[in-house]
A and B are shown apart, each in its own frame.
Chain A
Amino acid sequence: MTRKGLLVTAAMVLAMGGGALADTSGKRIALSNNYAGNSWRQAMLESWKRVTDKAVADGVVGGADAFTTAENQATEQAAQIQNMILQGYDAIVINSASPTALNGAIKEACDAGITVVSFDGVVTEPCAWRVAVDFKKMGANEIAYLEKRLPEGGNLLEIRGLAGVSVDDQIHAGIEEAVKANPKFKIVGSVNGDWAQDVAQKAVAGILPSLPEIAAVVTQGGDGYGAAQAFAAAGRPTPIIIMGNRQDELKWWGEQRAKNGYETVSTSIAPGVSTLAFWVAQQILDGKDVPKDLTVPFLSVTPDTLDQALKDTPEGGVTNVDYTLEDAQKVIAGTK
């Protein structure tokens, strides 16, 4: 081989190793979503549309269609996934109604050579990727924050989510473990707020008369404003209520801060995690080596960032961020 030929070969090898391994411009990715009935899910779908529309226009992928089941039911979503297999998508990104009930349909998809990436509501089927939230840590973080604010400890009221849903179990387990390690805190009451302000308000109002003084309320997001309303209606002093990035929660916090310097912290997962999962799917289709379990970073609003968050969060919405390809690559690299 001539010297020039060698160089060309070397350049080609370099180009192949350095750039994209496979072209994803012809690949089609589908979003299988189980529920769209709250502000978080609406923001999630908007993020997906914003980011994927641009990705399709830029020719990064061939298509990225979003499908939502009419009712939040695992059996319906399983049928939806099987339809996507028939429609010939190359990858399916899933926010699942159940961590286990879709496993059969997901296995069918994997067997058909389809890349499956689950996020938020992740699935246990080993052939799928998981962009998971460390919900247990989210619960533990709440207690860690309260430890700083309340060195003496105190009574806690816990507002849980929807019974029988794994996210609720995990956040609860994180809180319970952290409380066990910090005996100065005591959970004196626990209600199910179903992640909805009205349900939380009713539940808290129902249990409040039977409770001693509450130092703080640990929550799961979407329930902080309702809890605050219940405390106000009962004429009891407002405890530290952990918030969950909902606009009404942040607005209430801002008002209280202006009035009496109220301070708390607000943590949740950005609905834009759907776009992180999209880029992860794109990277897998691109031939990149991606670990099966990835962790989503939390999005926290602190007293310093409250004003900015209030400005950016739409009325009735939830604080959000759209992820980029670079963010996804960083998460992937951070896991390896």
Chain B
Amino acid sequence: MTRLINPRLALPVLSLVVLIVAVFWLQPRAMSYVGINLLFNLAVPIALATIAQMIIIMVNDIDLSMGAFVSLAACITAAILPVNPALGVLLLAGCVLAYAALGALIEIRQLPAIVVTLGMSFVWGGAAVLILPSPGGTAPGWLVWLMKSKPPLFPMAIVASVLIATVAHLLIMRSSFGVRLRALGGNARAVSRSGRSTVALRASAYGLAGIFAVLSGMALVGLTTSGDANIALRYTLLSIAGVILGGGEFTGGRISPVGAVIGALTLTLAGSFLSFLRLSPDWQIGAQGAILILVLAARLLVRQAEKRA
């Protein structure tokens, strides 16, 4: 049976639409070009980090160093890239290679990714403090121009989100490279029996995640205009939540890039929604958790209904 919309996507889209309607109802001022951009521009780096996390989850791993790594990329972008572009690019490329090497290490030694990435999070965090001991630095001019640009018709945040979703979708869902990566998460043994090197595949998955994470750090600096070694620590949990909200699963290589971007947008919007409700801060963490549980519970119901059908 062919359907127009992937059922895996229906729920994330629905949650996002419900939240958008609620936010517009609470705060009609948000219903404008500038308003929508203000609501969503900080979701762009989160969406990129979520795609990076999704690629790791796709190969049955989980990355607990995402926040620290994005912070490091942000520090390099703010402290080194404007002063010495060549060195900055070199360092960022080095970060991506380090990520690929981690993937290879995890596959060769059969290490649990959760332990390796947790350990690496302290390495990334330390490196970020070394590069930027106290908050500061300036974003490269072109990056600020890009992130603050005002394209016609649709705000930058929307254009960027659509672009990220499209690129990730084509790369992961449509290319043969993406199919192999997903197969590694689905059935690693079958992949190795078919003659593919699982080491190379896992390394390239981590490298690809590293590229998206570096882009996330750069986008974040473009928005904040300067860096801080602790800037993105929250991204670790946000990115995992985004993947799951967007219909991804922890095992089996079942993920959805479009859903992940929508998940990131939903998480960002949930924060604004609670803030517009004037909910006491003591309740906000709980309320954010409640929204997450609500969406996940709805997903469980949908899946059960699917099974019965």
Question: Which A residues lie at the B interface, using CB under 8 A?
Answer: 36, 65, 67-71, 73-76, 78-80, 82-83, 85-88, 98-105, 107-108, 124-125, 163-164, 166, 169
Contacts and interface: CB of A to CB of B under 8 A. Distances in A.
B136 interface: yes
Closest 8 CB pairs of A and B: A68-B281, A100-B226, A101-B228, A98-B228, A70-B285, A73-B234, A82-B38, A104-B224
Contact of A82 (B41, B226, B230): B41
Nearest to B74: A101
A240 to B, nearest CB: 29
Name the residue in B224, B232, B234 with the highest tally of chain A Cβ atoms < 10 Å from its Cβ.
Answer: B224
Contact of B230 (A36, A69, A98, A104): A98
A75 B231 contact: yes
A82 B39 contact: yes
A71 B285 contact: yes
B226 A103 contact: yes
A75 B234 contact: yes
A104 B223 contact: yes
A78 B74 CA distance: 16
A6 to B, nearest CB: 46
Contact of B134 (A88, A125, A164): A164
Interface in B176-233: 220, 223-233
B272 A83 contact: yes
A164 B30 CA distance: 35
B284 A86 contact: no
A101 B227 contact: yes
Given A74-B231, A100-B224, A102-B224, A86 B133 contact: no
Contact of B228 (A74, A105, A169): A74
B220 A75 contact: yes
A36 B233 CA distance: 18
Contacts of A82: 38-39, 41-42
B295 interface: no
B234 A83 contact: no
B235 interface: yes
7 contacts: A68-B281, A74-B224, A75-B234, A76-B271, A78-B223, A86-B272, A86-B276
Contacts of A86: 27, 29-30, 35, 38-39, 272, 276
A78 B42 contact: yes
Nearest to A45: B281
Contacts of A164: 129, 133-134, 229-230
A80 B275 contact: yes
A73 B231 CA distance: 7
B226 to A, nearest CB: 4
Nearest to B70: A75
Given A70-B284, A107-B225, A125-B225, 4 more contacts: A75-B220, A86-B35, A98-B231, A101-B135
B161 interface: no
Contacts of B3: none
B137 interface: yes
B89 to A, nearest CB: 22
A100 B226 CA distance: 6
A108 B39 CA distance: 12
A273 B16 CA distance: 40
Contacts of A105: 223-224
A151 B53 CA distance: 59
A7 to B, nearest CB: 46
A298 to B, nearest CB: 22
Contacts of B129: 163-164
B274 to A, nearest CB: 9
Interface in B6-49: 27, 29-30, 35, 38-39, 41-42, 45-46
A68 B274 CA distance: 12
A102 B223 CA distance: 9
A70 B42 contact: no
Contacts of A88: 29
Contacts of B27: 86-87
A100 B137 contact: yes
A100 B135 contact: yes
B225 A104 contact: yes
B275 A98 contact: no
Contacts of B285: 70-71
Contact of A169 (B35, B134, B233, B281): B134
B225 A166 contact: no
Contacts of B46: 75
Contacts of A103: 224-226
B234 A71 contact: yes
Contacts of B235: 75
A103 B133 CA distance: 18
Contacts of B227: 100-101
A323 B271 CA distance: 32
B276 A101 contact: no
A67 B277 CA distance: 11
A265 B229 CA distance: 34
